[in-house]
């Protein structure tokens, strides 16, 4: 898979997550922390806005990285995405397994990004073009 395609899909997935957190932060918070109430719930909703802005920042950077030229640069970018999103996916998965949060959509979303990034990175490393 071409890096531009992987990064476009990654940007779209991130845009969906960021938009949902901006549009419905209470819903997202209630899904992840069903027992939260009072000031704790309000604080978690506020944190959703901060997380949404960070995701949106990553979406903007990702979108602009799509046009990076040169196999070596593209390989470095895709390796970075593979490693970074692996950390996020594994952390979220562990929190899900431990029952700390309910996070199936983020696990699936970051897992897709990991797979796409890994495939793109490996194809760049294999092709001597």
Closest CA to 79 of 129, 128, 127, 125: 125
Place of tokens 């602009």: 64
Burial 83-115 (b: 16+ CB within 10 A, else e): eebbebbeebbebbeeeeeebeebbebbbbbbe
Calculate mean pLDDT across residues 105-116: 94
Looking at the structure of the chain, the number of domains it has is: 1
pLDDT tens across 6-47, in order?
999 999 999 999 999 999 999 999 998 988 999 999 999 999
Closest CA to 101 of 113, 86, 91: 91
Across the chain, mean pLDDT equals 92
* Residue 1 confidence (pLDDT): 83
Q: How confident is the model at residue 129 (pLDDT cuts 50, 70, 90)?
A: low
The domain containing residue 84 runs over which residues? Answer: 3-126
CB 44 within 8 A of CB 36: yes
Place of tokens 């593979």: 82
CB 102 within 8 A of CB 34: yes
pLDDT-above-70 percentage for the chain: 98
pLDDT tens across 84-94, in order?
999 999 999 99
Q: How confident is the model at residue 111 (pLDDT cuts 50, 70, 90)?
A: very high
pLDDT at 114 over 70: yes
């Amino acid at each position: 898979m071409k890096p531009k395609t992987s990064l476009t899909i990654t940007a779209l997935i991130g845009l969906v997550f960021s938009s949902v957190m901006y549009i419905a932060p209470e819903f997202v918070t209630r899904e992840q922390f069903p027992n939260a109430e009072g000031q704790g719930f309000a604080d978690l909703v506020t944190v959703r806005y901060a997380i949404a802005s960070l995701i949106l920042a990553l979406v903007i950077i990702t979108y602009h990285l799509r046009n990076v030229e040169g196999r070596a640069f593209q390989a470095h970018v895709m390796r970075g995405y593979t490693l970074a999103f692996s950390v996020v996916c594994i952390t979220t998965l562990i929190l899900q397994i431990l029952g700390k949060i309910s996070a199936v959509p983020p696990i699936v979303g970051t897992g897709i990004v990991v797979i796409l990034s890994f495939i793109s990175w490996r194809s760049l490393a294999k092709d001597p073009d």
